[in-house]
Amino acid sequence: MDWIKKNAEKFTLLLVALALLAVSVLLILKVRTFLATFEGLKAPVIENNKVPDLDLSPLGDARTAIQKPGAWTGHPGSLFVSRRYIFRDPDLVDPFENSPGKPPVQLHPPVPNEWFIKYNLDITDPDILSEDTDGDGFSNLDEFLAGTDPLDKNSHPAYTTKLKLARFIKVPFRLIYNARPDADSYQINTVDINQPSQILKIGDPIVGTKFKLIKFEDKKMTDSNDIEHDISELTIQNTDTGAQVVLVYNKQVDSPDSYAVFKYLWNNTQITVKKDQEFVLKPETDVKYKLIDISDQEAVIQTKTGQKITIPHFEEEKH
């Protein structure tokens, strides 16, 4: 270290000399590498006139894309028009909202919004459920509940769905089964006039009427107080019409001359039908129904095939 301090100039000169030597060595190596590269460029060029095949698949893909352009599938709106929102004060309701934990708001319950969209019905119309879009006599709500097409008048619910019981006109039957004197005899009395009781057997005619006894069924019922009641049934038949009436022990029944007054909502008319009578519903006049039972709450009608249909009592809409 003392020598370096005493000979600083010589030491500096030595360092410069070493640096120049290193640079010289580096330049020599670079020159040699350049010469080797240059020698490679002097090599003769091998001619190749063969043109490689082009990959034309991108052109085919582009042609297909042009022939089948992509459809806008972002939402039920369009590229420049937003999907529809419904204003229900004070909020905007998205009828298509179906995110987890946030079900869509039903604008016309019980019908889901998707049903209106499926059939291109105006979901913004406040009266859309009561409207008859295809003019077949059934409202859009009727069509939804029946699973029919609201745009096709040939697709509609059964006409019996428009039939409601408006009133039950009771006509008491004038005969009553009062007693059973012995195992083979039955006591028949009249309700409306005072005349002697008739003791009859199965097959006997009932004097003064067109009925005869045809069948007996012994029945008992135990009520909630464990008391047994006789509810035996005596069946009588009209010898002219064949119509049957079941007389229950000691109970007045309704006459076959009772009537049901129906309200037919399909064309807003009233239909009065006698019990056990056949009738039709317009416009399906080739289908016949028979009224087989009536009560204050409902009526039961039957088709030719034996299908029984319960007709509920008509309830006026409350406003």
CA distance 290 to 302: 5
Which of 229, 248, 267 is the last residue in one of the domains?
248
User: In this structure, what token pair is assigned to residue 78?
Assistant: 């369009």
42 part of a folded domain: no
Give, in order, the Cα–Cα distances in Å from 160 to each of 124, 151, 165, 231: 31, 20, 11, 34
In a domain, 3, yes or no: no
Q: For position 43, what pLDDT does the model report?
A: 67
Q: For residue 161, give both structure tokens.
A: 């769905």
Residues 209 and 152 in one domain: no
189 and 217 co-located in one domain? yes
Query: How far is CA 207 from its chain centroid?
Result: 57
The whole-number pLDDT of residue 71 equals 64
Q: Is residue 67 part of a domain?
A: no
185 and 121 together in one domain: no
Residue 212 lies in a domain: yes
Q: Looking at the domain assignment, is residue 20 inside a domain?
A: no
Q: What local confidence, expressed as pLDDT, does residue 34 receive?
A: 62
Query: Is the pTM value of this prediction over 0.75?
Result: no
235 and 187 fall within a common domain: yes
Q: The tokens of 251 are what?
A: 């109970």
Domain count for the chain: 3
Q: Is residue 277 part of a domain?
A: yes
CA dihedral for 90, 75, 118, 102, sign (positive or negative)? negative
Domain assignment present for 122: yes
- Are 153 and 198 found together in one domain? no
Question: Which domain does 227 fall in, by range?
Answer: 175-248
Got the DSSP string for 232-294? -EEEEEETTT--EEEEETT---B-TT-EEEEEETTTTEEEEEETT-EEEETTEEEEEEEEEEE
Same-domain check for residues 145 and 186: no
308 and 300 Cβ atoms separated by less than 8 Å? yes
Average pLDDT per 10 consecutive residues for the chain, totaling 319 residues: 70 77 77 65 71 80 78 59 70 68 78 90 91 95 95 95 94 89 92 85 92 95 91 93 90 87 95 93 94 93 95 77
User: Do residues 103 and 123 share a domain?
Assistant: yes
Can you give the pLDDT at residue 319? 45
Residue finishing a domain among 227, 248, 269: 248
- The pLDDT of residue 189: 92
- Is 297 within the bounds of a domain? yes
